[in-house]
Amino acid sequence: MLGRRRRRAEDPAAEPARVPYAEPDLPVTDESVVMVEDSTFLALTEGTYTVVDFWASWCAPCRQFAPIFRAVAREHTGPVRFGACEVDANPGVAQLLQIRSIPTLVVFGPDGSEIGRSTGTVSRGDLEATVAQLSRR
């Protein structure tokens, strides 16, 4: 039949391991970007301004944006916290915030409330301007 393919049952154990929010030239653990999970979301988004990148490992624009996000986080020394949340591994947070497309950046205020959102890839200049604006508050 044309247009229909049979799918093979794949062995889940043979699936390659996912490396969270990493690019080939970037370390997996980076203190400048905190991994946000369902269990840590509320605690990590309170107390200071927080910029969270919602992403997925299969998303090409997310993989293109990750080095920019990490670079800005590394270079920033102000009171703004940076976090990354993989939506497939943390569906509770994605559902709570109604994340419908990725990448999505969400900015949280010190009280944990959402104060801004941007869907799609953001330029480095726009991200730096947002962070600078938050630092002046």
Q: What is the pLDDT of residue 11?
A: 45
pLDDT in tens, 97-132: 999 999 999 999 999 999 999 999 999 999 999 999
Contact present, 86 and 55 (Cβ < 8 Å): yes
Determine phi and psi for 41, rounding to 5 degrees: -55, -55
- Residue 72, classed as helix, strand or coil, is helix
Taking only the tens place, the pLDDT of each residue in 11-28 is 444 443 344 454 444 333
Catalytic positions are 59, 62
Q: What is the pTM of this model?
A: 0.77
Tokens of 61: 């624009």
Q: Which residue has the higher pLDDT, 87 or 31?
A: 87
Closest CA to 40 of 104, 93, 80: 93
